[in-house]
């Protein structure tokens, strides 16, 4: 039997790996099997194409390439220049951005590049001017002291974690919370929606250097035109982190006031999630911040990953095809069908539904914490992640919510009918799971009780649902 190119490529790769460390080859194969058998509903995960995956496993991994295209600190980077320039070109064309920086290794790295670019652009000091030159070793201890004082205590205003914001938007566990004096805006307690008047009030009072929009668990659109008007009123730089919904921007689901690129001074994103590329980050900006952004390495980043930039170029080229826009539309249609299916079955959803790719279930109505619900669903073949809800009484570890999303299942080809069936499976598990108790009889926020037969039944139903929509059908490892 002759094999197609994808099967040949992945089989050959595993054979080569197995000759050195068979346990790694086994784990890779097991991961594919696990993903094929489970309902992947983690909103931040997806399935990259075989071409994107294969672009990461090559000789570009061996190359150091500090600097930018045509301006490297290492010789022999002409081929790296080619793939980095291609990735940036595709990003600019896809999003309509003046400048694209494709080196960040992750969304956190992209945000750090953006923060430092804004600081360097907005804060003037002799120490900072020195820090911007390549010869950092010229800085004296007095220069560093002045630099720390000048850059310290700058202010950032971003969405609160329990309202759906992200850790990297100025919160203490992340370096951004140590760089900035941070304040949060939340959502309306009654609706769960952003109250733009309240955001404006907070901005006028706090006067941030950076106003951040973007989210990891907010199931609605954001009006970026209004947010830019707020930023302009207080003289703030407007930054948007579109890591979660970049695919919806690329696919022209979010346009006009809901497309961040025309309105923000600087935009960051990951390249996986709804964009369906390799794990990595990216920064988009106008010409006024381009020079500062391009200093991301070595200011913030370590050496660029040329093999990942090659994969970004492939994925961004795929996203420019007409079929990607259809895919992005189906992501939202599926999320809305999933939300409607859950609502019909009595689930409580934050904001009562969704405009984007994700749905946030408040599982307190089932008498569960997010951690209990997450594990019970995982036992049943449904992969989700726990997430805080607004004013969450259980905090960020145990939580009261489950965040689910449709990018991955949409990639597999599931449609709105399958989303209703998925809602039924989720409902069946959550209604049959009860909170457990600790050894001393006190209520537990982690332990739970779920009949093993029910979990097995749902897991089999999930597998049957997925059987019609094979994952990586062109890849046969058997």
Q: Which residue has the tokens 């009562």?
A: 352
- Classify 463 as helix, strand or coil: helix
CB atoms within 10 A of CB 368: 24
Catalytic residue among 36, 276, 279, 295: 279
- Classify 20 as helix, strand or coil: coil
Q: Is 279 a catalytic residue?
A: yes
Q: Is 273 a catalytic residue?
A: yes
Burial class (CB in 10 A: 0-12, 13-18, 19+), 393: exposed
Torsion, Cα of 390, 396, 397, 399 (10° steps): 0
DSSP 142-193: HHHHHHHHHHTTEEEEEE-TTTT--TTTT-TTSHHHHHEEEEEE---TTT-S
The set of residues, in sequence order, having a beta carbon less than 8 Å from that of 442 and lying 6+ positions away, is none
CA distances from 171 to 321, 332, 365 (A): 37, 29, 29
Angle between helices 370-379 and 452-467 (to 10 degrees): 70
Residues 217, 385: contact at Cβ < 8 Å? no
DSSP β-ladder status, 71-72 and 67-68: antiparallel
Catalytic residue among 37, 64, 291, 447: 64
Question: Can you read off the two tokens belonging to residue 209?
Answer: 């250097």
Residues 353, 339: contact at Cβ < 8 Å? yes
Alpha carbon distance 281, 62 (integer Å): 20
Residues 171, 241: contact at Cβ < 8 Å? no
Catalytic residue among 36, 72, 220, 273: 273
The set of residues, in sequence order, having a beta carbon less than 8 Å from that of 127 and lying 6+ positions away, is 139, 143, 144, 146, 147, 150
Q: What is the largest CA-CA distance in the chain?
A: 71
Catalytic residue among 11, 18, 37, 66: 66
Q: Is 460 a catalytic residue?
A: no
Positions of E strands within 265-394: 266-270, 281-285, 348-349, 358-362, 382-383, 385-387
DSSP H or E segment with residue 84: helix 78-95
Catalytic residue among 241, 362, 379, 392: 241
Catalytic residue among 68, 237, 270, 406: 270
Q: Which residues sit opposite 266 in a β-bridge?
A: 239, 285
Q: How far is CA 467 from the centre of its chain?
A: 28
Alpha carbon distance 400, 81 (integer Å): 47
Question: Can you read off the two tokens belonging to residue 460?
Answer: 């089999």
Q: Is 472 a catalytic residue?
A: no
Q: Is 45 a catalytic residue?
A: no
Q: Is 354 a catalytic residue?
A: no
Question: Can you read off the two tokens belonging to residue 235?
Answer: 């003289």
Task: Catalogue the active-site residues.
Answer: 64, 66, 241, 270, 273, 279
């Amino acid at each position: 039997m002759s094999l197609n190119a994808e099967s040949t490529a992945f089989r050959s790769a595993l054979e080569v790996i197995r000759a050195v460390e068979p346990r790694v080859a086994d784990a890779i194969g097991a991961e594919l099997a696990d993903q094929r058998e489970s309902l992947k509903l983690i909103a931040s995960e997806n399935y990259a194409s075989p071409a994107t995956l294969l672009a990461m496993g090559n000789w570009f991994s061996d190359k150091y390439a500090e600097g930018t295209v045509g301006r490297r600190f290492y010789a022999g980077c002409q081929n790296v220049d080619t793939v980095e320039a291609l990735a940036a070109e595709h990003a600019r064309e896809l999003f309509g951005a003046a400048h694209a920086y494709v080196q960040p290794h992750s969304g956190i790295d992209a945000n750090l590049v953006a923060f430092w670019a804004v600081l360097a652009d907005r804060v003037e000091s002799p120490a900072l001017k020195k820090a911007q030159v390549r010869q950092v070793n010229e800085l004296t201890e007095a220069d560093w002291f002045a630099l720390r004082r000048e850059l310290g205590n700058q202010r950032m205003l971003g969405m609160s974690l329990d309202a759906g914001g992200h850790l990297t938007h100025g919160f203490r566990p992340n370096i951004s919370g140590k760089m900035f004096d941070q304040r949060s805006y939340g959502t309306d307690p009654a609706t769960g929606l952003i109250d733009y008047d309240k955001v404006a009030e907070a901005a006028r009072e706090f006067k941030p250097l950076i106003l951040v929009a973007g989210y990891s668990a907010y199931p609605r659109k954001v009006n970026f035109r209004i947010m830019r008007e707020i930023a302009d009123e207080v003289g703030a730089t407007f930054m948007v982190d579109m890591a979660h919904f970049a695919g919806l921007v690329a696919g022209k689901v979010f346009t006009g006031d809901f497309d961040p690129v025309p309105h923000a001074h600087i935009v960051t994103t990951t390249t996986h999630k709804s964009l369906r590329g390799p794990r990595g980050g990216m920064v988009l900006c106008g010409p006024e911040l381009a020079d500062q952004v391009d200093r991301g390495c070595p200011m913030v980043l370590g050496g660029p990953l040329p093999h990942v930039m090659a994969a970004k170029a492939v994925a961004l080229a795929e996203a420019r095809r007409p079929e990607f826009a259809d895919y992005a539309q189906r992501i939202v249609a599926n999320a809305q069908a999933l939300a409607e299916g859950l609502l019909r079955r009595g689930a409580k959803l934050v904001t009562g539904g969704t405009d984007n790719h994700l749905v946030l279930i408040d599982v307190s109505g089932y008498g569960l914490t997010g951690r209990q619900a997450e594990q019970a669903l995982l036992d049943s073949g449904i992969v989700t992640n726990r997430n805080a809800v607004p004013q969450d009484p259980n905090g960020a570890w145990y939580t009261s919510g489950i965040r689910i999303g449709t990018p991955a299942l949409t990639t597999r080809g599931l449609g709105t009918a399958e989303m209703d069936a998925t809602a039924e499976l989720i409902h069946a598990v959550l209604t049959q799971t009860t909170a457990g108790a600790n050894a001393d009889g006190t209520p537990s926020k982690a332990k739970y009780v779920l009949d093993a037969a029910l979990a097995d039944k749902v897991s089999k139903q999930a597998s049957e649902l997925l059987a019609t929509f094979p994952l990586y059908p062109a890849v046969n490892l058997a």
